[in-house]
Structure 1
Amino acid sequence: MGAHALDRSDDDLAGIARSARAALVREIEASGAFDDEPVWREAFLAVPRHLFVPYYYVGVTGGYERRWGESPDPRAREMWLRGAYADAPLATRLRDGELVSSSSQPSLMAKMLVELRVEDGNRVLEVGAGTGYNAALLAHRLGDDDLVTTVDLEPEITESARRHLAAAGHHPAVVTGDGARGVPERAPFDRIIVTCTLASVPRGWLAQCTPGARILAPFATGLIALTVHDAAHAEGRFLPTPAYFVPLRGETRPATEPPDLAALPRRAGNQELFRFLYTLTRSTLSPQEAFALWIREGGPPRDRYGITIDGNREWAWLDAPEGPHTWPLPG
């Protein structure tokens, strides 16, 4: 009797998973994220997100509460499963109460994958393995696990990503290492997608790319889309989409501090596009200078900005790489 009841419960959960996954795909589709490349709709329908988040944390008063797929309480398991298919980021790893790793919001993942402009046969590097879900979507889209490489600094993260991927039937290359160094032994790459925020673009990535490769990365609360010309040159503009990710970690990467806007009018701190401008230019402009520029230029949207890499120089710009508004980025 008990075993039969358990079987029915598992069947019910499988049905809930299918229904919730279909509902998530409809929600993403309604946002327009799949319009340019409908092939990604099939990937999101086929890859079960819940296999990549066997547990996650939700914010509660005083901290976080864990939701767990192996909970003895059937109601708790159903809550975990439904939450796994919410169009929301999920905190998957905490250290001393601080978020270390997460599964990104699926609709943002869809936008990024579409903007990556993957073509059949492309070799793709993902920097920031997370749960492995993004690598599974890429592997499904490309139809060949060996075309996908994902790298992360933390052995715990890569080990769990490898397990999740295997449970979903995928076996891309999962590498433990400093993502800022790329994965030279798996190069060259036609696409690089990054799931952590950069302070500058690592030069090693360019050397591991084919000419014409595309790099899509979070940068200063936005997403930069770079075209790689050769090992020393790349250029591109920001997409209009906001994006917030944890910073890229590794021995070669500088730490970034949150912007200090205390000296500015209160309305400045509430302007999301101004915060983007200041985060992008903070190594050059004071908060007051950045705010004056932002007002003077009419509160420019993200897609007026870009980044150029030319040899040892890397700079951000407004409207045009040659200026008049350019700002060096940390090397």
Structure 2
Amino acid sequence: MGPYDTETDCLAAAARAALVREIDADGAWAGHPVWREAFAAVPRHLFVPYYYVAGRGGYRRRWGESPDRLARADWVRGAYTDAPLATRLRDGELVSSSSQPSLMARMLVALGVEDGDRVLEVGAGTGYNAALLAHRLGDDGLVTTIDLEPEIAETARRHLQAAGHHPAVVTGDGARGVPERAPFDRIIATCALSTVPRAWLAQCRPGAGILTPLATGLLALTVRDPEHAEGRFLPTAAHFVPLRGEGGTASAGVPRAGLPDRVREQETIRFLLALTRRALDPHAACALWEREGMPERERYGVTVAGEHAWVWLDDPQGPYVWPLP
């Protein structure tokens, strides 16, 4: 499959099988073998014809059409490592990537896709995630993926076609959804947001699920109606490229200056600081975190009610609640 020689295709098949075994051993899709089948079938290397590897002096490119046979082998093996791949840079800044496959697997399992579901993916990226969804559903027409940048959307479309899939690929602001393709049963974002776009709720069927990165976590919401949704964070840490457009989040670091050394590098305090950046002083956040027993991500949740949205610890009614934008 694709424009590569037989040796490359054989190497890719072996590397893909090894990646599937690695994710299998990690337990990412335990009880959900349908996703194992999808990862085994969809060739990731077709979605990353080139990518960038960080090193001394900056990034260097690996690409599948290198005249050097060994370089091509490095490219295809790298395409099937369980790691995120930098796929697009602008002025030295990462603007698009292919997520870590095991994290993608955990997110897709958590999304709870059922046969016949209509799914919206926000952040087309390389198109790989949309291909996994299309394979799982067995119907390309049930999948819609959107990206703000026309070049990224067009590249994803080409990659999907090369892999034999033709979902709807839309250029637009993901925070606004895709109303002409609604209603959706599931929405998954593969980019970091600062809040929950209200347009998503309006484009969901009652009972629909939304999975989106927020702060440094993954928020799983259940939609009650066009104005109400609620859910908790998954245990998994997640770091994504920010959404561009409405609802995007700044890439500034989490403020930790002045915090005690014993806590400033703790992942769960960093999560709380990112989650309450606009509402809670870092020192107050640290005191709360220690007082409440260093709460893990799954103790936090988000409620959306009309124009209001808030994040909470343990109970949506408080006492610990903070507003979201």
**What range describes the TM-score normalised by the shorter chain of this pair?**
over 0.9
Report percent identity of matched pairs: 72
Which stretch shows the higher mean deviation, 127-136 or 253-262?
253-262
Q: Is the 8 A contact 1:199 1:256 kept in 2?
A: no
| 4+ residue segments displaced more than 4 Å | none
User: Which residue in 1 is equivalent to 2:45?
Assistant: 50
User: Which residue in 1 is equivalent to 2:129?
Assistant: 134
- CA distance 1:220–1:231, shift in 2 (3 Å): same
In the alignment, residue 217 of structure 2 is paired with which amino acid?
G
In structure 2, how many angstroms separate the alpha carbons of the residues matched to 1:321 and 1:227? Answer: 14
Distance apart, 1:251 and its partner CA: 4.4
Q: Is the 8 A contact 1:187 1:209 kept in 2?
A: yes
Within the candidate set 72, 75, 81, 1:77 is matched to: 72
Q: Is the 8 A contact 2:186 2:210 kept in 1?
A: yes
- CA distance 1:193–1:252, shift in 2 (3 Å): closer
C-alpha RMSD of matched pairs (Å): 1.0
User: Which residue in 2 is equivalent to 1:224?
Assistant: 219
User: Which residue in 2 is equivalent to 1:244?
Assistant: 239
Question: Helix, strand or coil: the match of 1:175?
Answer: strand
- Structure 1 residue 325 and structure 2 residue 323: aligned? no
Question: Helix, strand or coil: the match of 1:210?
Answer: strand
The one-character-per-residue Cα deviations of 1:109-155 (angstroms, maximum 9, x if unpaired) are: 00000000000000000000000000000000000000000000011
The one-character-per-residue Cα deviations of 1:190-231 (angstroms, maximum 9, x if unpaired) are: 000000111100000000000000000011100000000000
Q: Is the 8 A contact 1:192 1:216 kept in 2?
A: yes
- Structure 2 unaligned segments of length 5 or more: list them: none
TM-score (norm 2): 0.97
Count of aligned positions: 322
Distance apart, 1:247 and its partner CA: 1.1
In the alignment, residue 44 of structure 2 is paired with which amino acid?
R
Alignment of 1:161-310 (within 5 A): 161-251=156-246, 253=248, 255=250, 257-310=252-305
Within the candidate set 105, 108, 111, 1:110 is matched to: 105
- Structure 1 unaligned segments of length 5 or more: list them: 1-8
- CA distance 1:251–1:238, shift in 2 (3 Å): closer
Q: Is the 8 A contact 1:36 1:114 kept in 2?
A: no
TM-score (norm 1): 0.96
In structure 2, how many angstroms separate the alpha carbons of the residues matched to 1:132 and 1:97? Answer: 22
Q: Is the 8 A contact 1:210 1:228 kept in 2?
A: yes
Question: Helix, strand or coil: the match of 1:191?
Answer: strand
In structure 2, how many angstroms separate the alpha carbons of the residues matched to 1:285 and 1:139? Answer: 41
In the alignment, residue 121 of structure 1 is paired with which amino acid?
G
Question: Helix, strand or coil: the match of 1:250?
Answer: coil
Distance apart, 1:14 and its partner CA: 1.5
Which stretch shows the higher mean deviation, 80-89 or 261-270?
261-270
Question: Helix, strand or coil: the match of 1:225?
Answer: strand
In structure 2, how many angstroms separate the alpha carbons of the residues matched to 1:247 and 1:317? Answer: 22
In the alignment, residue 96 of structure 1 is paired with which amino acid?
D
User: Which residue in 2 is equivalent to 1:6?
Assistant: none
In the alignment, residue 23 of structure 1 is paired with which amino acid?
A
In structure 1, how many angstroms separate the alpha carbons of the residues matched to 2:249 and 2:83? Answer: 29
In structure 2, how many angstroms separate the alpha carbons of the residues matched to 1:247 and 1:299? Answer: 27
User: Which residue in 1 is equivalent to 2:6?
Assistant: 11
